[in-house]
Amino acid sequence: MFSVTVSDSVMIAHSLQGDVFGPAQRLHGATYVVEVTLRRKVLNSDGIVVDIGRAGDLLKDVLAPYAYRNLDELSEFTGMNTTTEVLAETMFNAFAKGIQSGSLGEDAISTLDSIQVRLREKPDAWATYDAPLNG
């Protein structure tokens, strides 16, 4: 399996509900390093998984609605804890939607096998959401 990974970062604010979160129940900030890995079994006719520049641009677009925002105020997260795991899935879904709309080219829609989105809270702690792109 071939893969490429693009990375960017995003600063957010949020609070988490439930005793399990201790002091993170209070409003606090987080800076996530977001890594998106795209996989396919066979390289395309250009000898690449996808164009890395286009993938980086799509990641910037995915992160833009959350940058410097209090996630507690966004309607898409009403009634949810915006844990690192939840955010990884949210960003996976947005990235997959961008691929399906053609942001990475037409061949990416049908030939990418899977996407992995990893959010690093700090160098020694992260969460990942990984799933097939098609099916």
CA dihedral defined by 125, 80, 56, 9, rounded to 10 degrees? -50
Q: Is 43 helix (H, G, I), strand (E, B) or coil?
A: coil
In this structure, what CATH number is given to the domain that contains residue 85? 3.30.479.10
Tell me the per-residue pLDDT of 74-105, one tens digit each, with 9 for 90 and over: 999 999 999 999 999 999 999 999 999 999 99
Domains held by the chain: number? 1
pTM here is 0.94
Longest dimension (CA), the chain: 53
Question: Which structural domain range is residue 103 located in?
Answer: 2-132
SS (H, E, C) 70-116: EHHHCHHHCCCCCCHHHHHHHHHHHHHHHHHCCCCCHHHHHHCCEEE
Tell me the per-residue pLDDT of 9-66, one tens digit each, with 9 for 90 and over: 999 999 999 999 999 999 999 999 999 999 999 999 999 999 999 999 999 999 999 9
